[in-house]
Each structure stands twice: as C-alpha cells, then as structure tokens.
Structure 1
Amino acid sequence: MAGQFVTAAGTEPERLDWGQLRWMSHPPLTGAEKLTVIDVTLKPGKGHNFHKHPDQEEVIYVVAGTVEQWIDRERRVLSPGDCAFIPADVVHASFNAGSEDAKVIAILGPCVGENGYVSVEMGAEAPWNTLRTP
C-alpha cells in the first residue's frame, strides 16, 4: 500500500449535536488497518458522553480549548498539548469545559469494523449516568 496525503478541505465533516468529526484516516478513506485518526471539534458545554471501544486503544490529544476528560471514574481537565490514553474496553468521555470550541485528535487502533471504529454508548447506564452534574 502506498502512502497518501489527506487534507481537511478534502474530507467532509460529520456534524453531530455535540460537535463534528472529520475522518482523517480510516479504512474507507485510506485503507488503514492499524490506526483510525479523527479530528474532533466539541461545542462549548457539549461532548461525547460516556462510551467505550471494546477492541481498541485510544489516545485523545488536545489541540485547542479545555477538555473535561474522563477515564473510567477519574476526571481531569486537559489543556492544549495534554493527552489521555484509554485502554481497550475502558469507559471514557470527553466534554468541552470552555466557552470556545475545543479541538482534539482521537487516534484509535487497531482499525475495527467497516469504518475502523466501534463505539458502545454507556452514558445511560449506572454509574456513568450519575458521574456528571448537568
């Protein structure tokens, strides 16, 4: 497989109620097998609620803004240049803790499923539904 360049202008953003995703590398786009890379923007006060990736490790690297990051039941506030490592099958969540958009790069491996990414939402289940106060 030959390498390739992927530009932000060449990737269509996926808009969600909590922000947007821009798939920078995953099987449908690049043919990747080991790494899925997602450029994520979190709107102020919003975030990706508690979830897990059963067969994937993840690194979340903060590029801009302030992020309230959860790994299991531990909470930290991360700033640009900070990151979190999440082992496979560990519940986690990322929320924008600032008043401007927050930007993170999510890197997951290995690629799993058709899109290189499998997420199981856990936010409605105990204890995850009681850890944050809206």
Structure 2
Amino acid sequence: MSGKFVLAKDTPQEANDWGKLQWISNPPTTGAGQITVISVTLAPGKGHDFHKHPDQEEVIHVVAGSVEQWVDREKKILGPGDSAFIPADMVHASFNVGSGEARIVAILGPCIGTIGYEVVDVSGEAPWAGLRG
C-alpha cells in the first residue's frame, strides 16, 4: 500500500438530516485497513443520535463549536480541542448545543466492511430514547 493525499476539494460531502460528513480515510477513499476517519459537521440543534459500533473503537475530536457528547450514560459538553474515547460496542451520541455549526473528526478502527464503518442505531430503544429528556 502506498500513501495518499486527500484534498478537501476532491472529497464529496454527504448530507444527512443532522449535518454533513466527508470520508477522509476509509477503504474506498485511501485503501485503509485499520482506521476510518470522518470529518463531520453538525447543524445547530442537531446531532448523531444514540448508536454504537460493535467491533470498532472510536475517538471523537471536537474541532469547532460546542458538542454535548454522550459516552454510555455520561455526558459532557466538549469544545475545540476536547476529545472522547468510545470503546467498541459502547453506546454514544453527539449533539450540537451551540448556535453555529459544530465540527468534529471521528476516528474509528479497525475498518469494518466495504466502507470501513459499521453502525447500529439504538436511539429508539430504552434507555436511550428518553435519556436527553
């Protein structure tokens, strides 16, 4: 495997109801096998609701904004430069609690599946459905 430059202008954005993301490194983008890196922008008042990655660890690093970060049932408000480590199969969520966009970088490993990412949505299950009250 050889190294690869990933330029922002060449990385398409995917829109979601909570914001947008760019695949910085994953099997299709770079051929990576051990880490998936995603640049995520959360719209004001929106977030990536409670979910887990059964076979992947994750680090969430806040680049800009104010993020209500949940790791299991514990929450903290994170700002630029703050991070959270999430073990494999642990439920977590990220919500933008600021007035502008929040930007985070999500780093997951190892790569799972064809896009290097697996996710299980648990936002409709107890206790996660009512945790934010």
TM-score by length of 2: 0.99
How far off is 1:115 after superposition?
A: 0.3
Cα distance in 2 between the residues matched to 1:27 and 1:81: 27
| Superposition map of 1:50-129 within 5 A | 50-129=50-129
**Matched residue type, 1:73:** R
**Matched residue type, 1:98:** G
Cα distance in 1 between the residues matched to 2:112 and 2:95: 24
The corresponding residue for 1:20 is: 20
Cα distance in 2 between the residues matched to 1:85 and 1:107: 10
Number of matched pairs = 133
Aligned-partner SS, 1:90: coil
How far off is 1:128 after superposition?
A: 0.2
Aligned-partner SS, 1:68: strand
Cα distance in 1 between the residues matched to 2:31 and 2:22: 16
Cα distance in 2 between the residues matched to 1:85 and 1:72: 11
How far off is 1:75 after superposition?
A: 0.6
Percent identity, please. 65
How far off is 1:119 after superposition?
A: 0.3
Structure 1 unaligned segments of length 5 or more: list them.
Answer: none
Structure 2 unaligned segments of length 5 or more: list them.
Answer: none
TM-score by length of 1: 0.98
Report the RMSD for the aligned CA atoms in angstroms.
Answer: 0.4
How far off is 1:111 after superposition?
A: 0.2
Cα distance in 2 between the residues matched to 1:130 and 1:8: 37
Cα distance in 1 between the residues matched to 2:28 and 2:61: 23
CA offset digits 1:70-113 (Å, max 9, x no partner): 00000100000000000000000000010000000000000001
